[in-house]
């Protein structure tokens, strides 16, 4: 019942336990619900626009879904719309970025979580996170004016072109390094202290505890950090638009220029093409494919987290 009786000093007091409506809490709850609905509605509307414009692109007789997904030549001027040159360049720069960000981010996270003192951690973390606040345009010109000359000095000017996917990928790796390191460190810090103490009690060194106890226990969080970093690298725009070059080269050579999917979108969007043309509508098809790739990575990330999540009492 919503009411109970309390007997005290020969008298009975009735206490009403029914929920009381408070206007302030109701307004806050309503505002939060509105924000949630607005976020979901915005996402649905964006997906609808992408799907609608992508459907218009494939209604042109010059292009089919099969050619779009299978051909290896992207030349809109001659009605060649094979996505693989752009997709290959995107995957190549992403692979290079993760080859830079993953080991460095993991090593930095292990140091901050297991080795660094509180004073050192409080000093290094803000410096590391400054990298995340630098505009991506700066990273693009950093890759073009600093990383590319280094690569050309090492491998030769005749091998490394001025615009190349290698320097763009390295700059992207530096960009997502703070994200990977921060998420990995949070995963490592969530491992209970009792597991570390158990390892030390068995005679393990600090390195053995870090690599054989803490890292395996935080594997789900590390995997999530990796997949989020990959999603961030795939969607990066300005670095590849500035440093990776243009032209639909179907190649896995990181020392020559190649246009990524986002780089192509930037170039076409900044041009003089009119709306509802074949070239203009192609950016929506590419954006929709990017969205599907990112969505797939997010779904995989959730499955990985559920698969490797450790539960502690």
Encode the chain in three state secondary structure. CCEEEEEECCEEEEEECCCCCCHHHHHHHHHHHHHHHHHHHHHHHHHHHHHHHHHHHCCCCCCCHHHHHHCCCEEHHHCEECCHHHHHHHHHHHHHHHHHHHHHHHHHHHHHHHHCCHHHHHHHHHHHHHHHHCCHHHHHHHHHHHHHHHHHHHHCCCCCCCCCHHHHHHHHHHHHHHHHHHHHHHHHHCCCHHHHHHHHHCCCCHHHHHHHHHHHHCHHHHHHHHHHHHHHHHCCCHHHHHHCCCCCCCCCCCCCCCCCHHHHHHHHHCCCCCCCCHHHHHHHHHHHHHHHHHHHHHHHHHHHHHHHCCCCC
Is 90 exceeded by the pLDDT of residue 150? yes
CATH code, 74-308: 1.10.3720.10
Per-residue pLDDT tens for 236-246? 888 998 988 87
Q: What is the pLDDT of residue 88?
A: 92
How high is the pLDDT of residue 40?
Answer: 92
pLDDT reading at 313 higher than 60? no
Q: How far is CA 116 from CA 107, 113, 122, 131, in A?
A: 12, 7, 9, 20
Tokens 């409080």 label which residue?
122
> What is the average per-residue pLDDT within 197-207?
86
Q: Give the model's pLDDT for residue 59.
A: 86
Backbone angles phi and psi of 34, in degrees to 5: -65, -40
Torsion angle, alpha carbons of 125, 130, 131, 137, to 10:
170
Q: What mean pLDDT comes out for the span 257-279?
A: 80
- The per-residue pLDDT for range 211-244, each reduced to its tens digit, is 888 888 888 888 888 888 898 899 888 899 898 8
Find, among 176, 188, 174, 180, the residue nearest to 225 by Cα: 180
Q: Where are the domains of the chain?
A: 74-308
pLDDT bin (cut points 50, 70, 90) of residue 1 is very low
pTM here is 0.84
Q: What is the pLDDT of residues 74-109, one digit of tens each?
A: 887 788 888 999 999 999 999 999 999 999 999 999
- pLDDT of 290 over the 50 cut: yes
Tokens of 58: 């494939």
pLDDT digits (tens, 9 = 90+) for 13-57: 566 666 666 777 888 888 999 999 999 999 899 889 888 888 888
Instruction: Give the residues across from 61 on adjacent strands.
Output: none
Mean pLDDT of the chain: 84
């Amino acid at each position: 019942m919503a009411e109970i009786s309390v007997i005290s000093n020969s008298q009975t007091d009735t206490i009403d336990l029914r929920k009381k409506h408070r206007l302030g809490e109701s307004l806050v709850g309503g505002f939060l619900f509105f924000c949630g609905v607005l976020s979901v509605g915005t996402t649905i509307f964006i997906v609808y626009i992408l799907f609608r414009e992508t459907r218009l692109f494939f209604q042109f007789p010059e292009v089919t879904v099969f050619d779009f997904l299978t051909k290896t030549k992207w030349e809109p001027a001659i009605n060649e719309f094979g996505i693989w040159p752009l997709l290959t360049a995107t995957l190549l720069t992403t692979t290079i970025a993760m080859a830079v960000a993953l080991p460095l981010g993991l090593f930095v996270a292990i140091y901050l979580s297991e080795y660094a003192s509180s004073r050192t951690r409080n000093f290094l973390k803000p410096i590391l996170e400054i990298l995340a606040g630098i505009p991506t345009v700066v990273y693009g010109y950093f890759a073009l004016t600093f990383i590319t000359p280094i690569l050309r000095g090492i491998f030769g000017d005749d091998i490394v072109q001025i615009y190349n996917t290698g320097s763009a990928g390295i700059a992207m790796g530096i960009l997502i390094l703070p994200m990977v390191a921060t998420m990995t460190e949070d995963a490592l810090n969530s491992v209970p202290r009792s597991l570390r103490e158990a390892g030390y009690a068995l005679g393990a060194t600090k390195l053995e505890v870090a690599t054989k106890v803490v890292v395996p226990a935080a594997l789900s969080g590390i995997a999530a950090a990796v997949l989020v970093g990959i999603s961030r690298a795939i969607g990066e725009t300005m670095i590849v638009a500035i440093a990776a070059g243009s032209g639909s080269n179907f190649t896995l050579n990181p020392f020559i220029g190649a246009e990524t999917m986002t780089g192509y979108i930037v170039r076409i969007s900044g041009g003089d093409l009119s709306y509802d043309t074949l070239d203009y509508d192609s950016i929506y098809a590419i954006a929709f494919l990017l969205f599907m790739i990112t969505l797939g990575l997010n779904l995989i990330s959730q499955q990985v987290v559920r698969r490797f999540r450790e539960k502690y009492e």
